[in-house]
Amino acid sequence: MANNDLVRLIEAIDRLAAGGFVMGADWQAVHDICQRHEGEWPFDWGHALCHRIEGDDWNADYWYRRAGKTRGTGTMADEWSAMRAILSQKD
């Protein structure tokens, strides 16, 4: 896994979070990064978050399973805070 791409993912989700986790250019940037690293759990987890934001729970749950995680039950901000803490240890 390229650490610089993980840093890019964290930065992209930070921008998505700052914008209120809405669909748009920041969401697409996160999705694109995750798709380039399909099969790597941090990026699959980010992919899951993208589809949770999109409201596609079935697809989100697929990506959560691929990442070895479960869908968060709190807010997107809560989930991102927990994810960020774990992903930041990897970069």
pLDDT recorded at residue 2: 58
**pLDDT per residue as tens, the chain (91 positions):** 557 899 999 999 999 999 999 999 999 999 999 999 999 999 999 999 999 999 999 999 999 999 999 998 899 999 999 999 999 987 5
* Domain extent at residue 69: 3-88
Tokens at 63, concatenated:
């990506």
Is 41 exposed, middle or buried, given 0-12, 13-18 or 19+ CB atoms closer than 10 A?
A: middle
pTM: 0.93
Q: How many domains does the chain have?
A: 1
pLDDT recorded at residue 91: 58
